[in-house]
Amino acid sequence: MTAERRPRISVVMPVYNEAATIAEILRRVQAVDIEKEIVIVDDGSTDGTGDFLKALEARAEETAAVMKAPSGGRELRAGNVRVFYQDRNLGKGAAVRRGLREARGDTVIIQDADLEYDPADYEKLLMPIETGRADVVYGSRFLGGPHRVLFFWHYAGNRLLTTLSDMVTNMNLSDVWTGFKAFRREVIERIDLRENRFGFEQEITIKVARAGWRVYETPISYSGRTYAEGKKVSWKDGVRALWCLLRYGIF
């Protein structure tokens, strides 16, 4: 990858305590036949995820140097993978914000490391952008794709928050809280993000709407996790979502 040529996509992957899934999600992302870079941000993991990434660094050092990132911190060039480390756990929004700052691709896709979202769906996210119809694409869990059956009250809460968001933004999204989103590079460069946790999803939706960017949705598959399997979002994030609606959408 040269400095003169951008990769087709940057896959921004926030990671926090995903030792059980990090190797598998990397295999799945690499299996997608698209020119890409993978930007991993370890958000202060304590379960061995950081050890895995450091071992990846050590193997990479045999063929590539570890270099300084433009914003500081350590940068790993292992083929198409770059790894960044937060000094402590700051939240998903903070990790995504760091990854977006480091991304160099023409299109940026946010990919969680927990195997809930399938990298095989990347082409679905990319098509509306690359055909010139969209600036932002949301992968919706509620438009007919296969999904694991899990919690009713999570579903109900998601629909309520999405409805309230649509009322504020005057958009008809079906899944504001999806963790699978794609953005043209220009969108990322022009939006100032602040939320450190899951409120990032609501914040960026409101700011995309206010800026007038063209938004599409596409159905995706979804394999949700239980809390026993490591799911991290909680009712507190729902309360924060309401605050983000007021802060960014009204005040």
pLDDT confidence band for 172 (50 / 70 / 90): very high
Q: pLDDT at residue 31 above 90?
A: yes
Burial class (CB in 10 A: 0-12, 13-18, 19+), 59: exposed
Q: pLDDT at residue 153 above 90?
A: no
The fraction of the chain above a pLDDT of 90, given in percent, is 63
Q: pLDDT at residue 10 above 80?
A: yes
Mean pLDDT over 97-111 rounds to 96
pLDDT confidence band for 74 (50 / 70 / 90): very low
pLDDT confidence band for 6 (50 / 70 / 90): confident
At 227 the pLDDT is 54
Q: Nearest-5° angle of CA 139, CA 11, CA 196?
A: 80
Question: What is the model's pTM?
Answer: 0.85
pLDDT confidence band for 250 (50 / 70 / 90): confident
Q: pLDDT at residue 67 above 60?
A: no
Q: Is the dihedral of CA 231, 101, 202, 12 positive or negative?
A: negative
Q: What is the DSSP string of the chain?
A: --TTS--SEEEEEEESS-TTTHHHHHHHHHHS-S-EEEEEEE-S--SSHHHHHHHHHHHHTTTS--EE-TTSSEE--BTTEEEEE-SS---HHHHHHHHHHH--SSEEEE--SSSSB-GGGHHHHHHHHHTTS-SEEEEETTSS--B----HHHHHHHHHHHHHHHHHHT---S-TT-S-EEEEHHHHHH------STTHHHHHHHHHHHHT--EEEEE--B----TTTT----HHHHHHHHHHIIIIII-
pLDDT digits 0-9 by tens, 212-228: 999 999 999 988 756 56
More confident residue, 197 or 173: 173
pLDDT confidence band for 27 (50 / 70 / 90): very high
pLDDT confidence band for 243 (50 / 70 / 90): confident
From residue 104, alpha-carbon distances to 2, 174, 230 in Å are 11, 29, 30
At 150 the pLDDT is 65
| Interior/surface letters 14-31, b for 16+ CB within 10 angstroms, e for the rest | bbbbbbebbeebbebbee
C-alpha to C-alpha distance for 205 and 208, rounded to whole angstroms: 5
C-alpha to C-alpha distance for 93 and 199, rounded to whole angstroms: 7
Mean pLDDT comparison of 1-5, 143-147, 191-195, highest-scoring range: 191-195
